[in-house]
Structure 1
Amino acid sequence: MLFAFSIAPAGGGSDSVGDVVAEAVRVVRASGLPHETTSMFTTIESATWDEGMAVVKAAVEAVQARAPRVSLVLKADIRPGFDSGQLQAKVERVEEALGGGAPSAGGADGAPGATA
């Protein structure tokens, strides 16, 4: 099961939120779950709904400790029978469909968003 989420602090009096967002990423890294952090989202892979949501909740609470208001965007890929390795396997399936080329660095052809 994959969980992609973005946590944004608000009301802290600064446009820069990197230090506060780092608290959420620390929680994810400490969880020991496979994960990936990009400029817009962090994705974690967990075996169960409860395990994944516990990490998301703890990450929100870490940001909430430093900001008076928190926004959460969450997307989950719930796919029975695909228990592990999907963080990389989904991308590999798309790359294979593209002919095995190197991933693009953005733009119309390299923009993430669709699921495999």
Structure 2
Amino acid sequence: MIAAFSVTPLGIGEDVGEAVAAAVKVVRASGLPNRTDAMFTSIEGEWDEVMPVVRDAIDAVKAYSGRVSTVIKIDDRAGVTDGLTAKVATVERHLAAGG
């Protein structure tokens, strides 16, 4: 499965980069395949591997604020591995073909 999620501390102002970095640090330390972009961090693995990492990332942000907002989108598809790379490669292949 791939889980794309965003954790935002509430009530600490506009500059939330330090708190978000704490969450990303947790994800990167997990050893699971992951990517971070401007809006979401995506992590790939089995349900029982991914969800504790998401919870720990939320907890890391709670160290900065007693209230956090979390958005999670999950693609749970049996038999797929390396989805973080494969999904993007498929789109790039279509773009290269003029599609």
Instruction: Normalising by structure 2, report the TM-score.
Output: 0.94
Counterparts of 1:100 and 1:71, CA distance in 2: 40
Aligned CA distance change for structure 1 residues 65 and 91 (closer, same or farther; 3 Å): same
Does residue 41 of the first structure (1) align with residue 36 of the second (2)? no
- Pair 1:50–1:98, CA change in 2 (3 A): same
* C-alpha distance in 1 between matches for 2:3 and 2:75: 6
RMSD: 1.2
Deviation of the 1:99 alpha carbon:
2.3
Q: Which runs of 5+ in 2 are unaligned?
A: none
Could you list the structure 1 runs, at least 4 aligned residues long, displaced by more than 4 angstroms after superposition: none
Gap change, CA 1:98 and 1:41, over 3 Å in 2: same
Residue 78 of structure 1: aligned partner? 76
Q: Which residue number in structure 1 is paired with residue 20 of structure 2?
A: 21
Identity of aligned residues (%): 53
Determine helix, strand or coil for the equivalent of 2:15: coil
TM-score by length of 1: 0.80
- 1:21 alignment partner AA: V
- What letter matches 1:90 in structure 2? K
* 1:15, distance to aligned residue in structure 2 (A): 1.2
Q: How many residues get paired?
A: 98
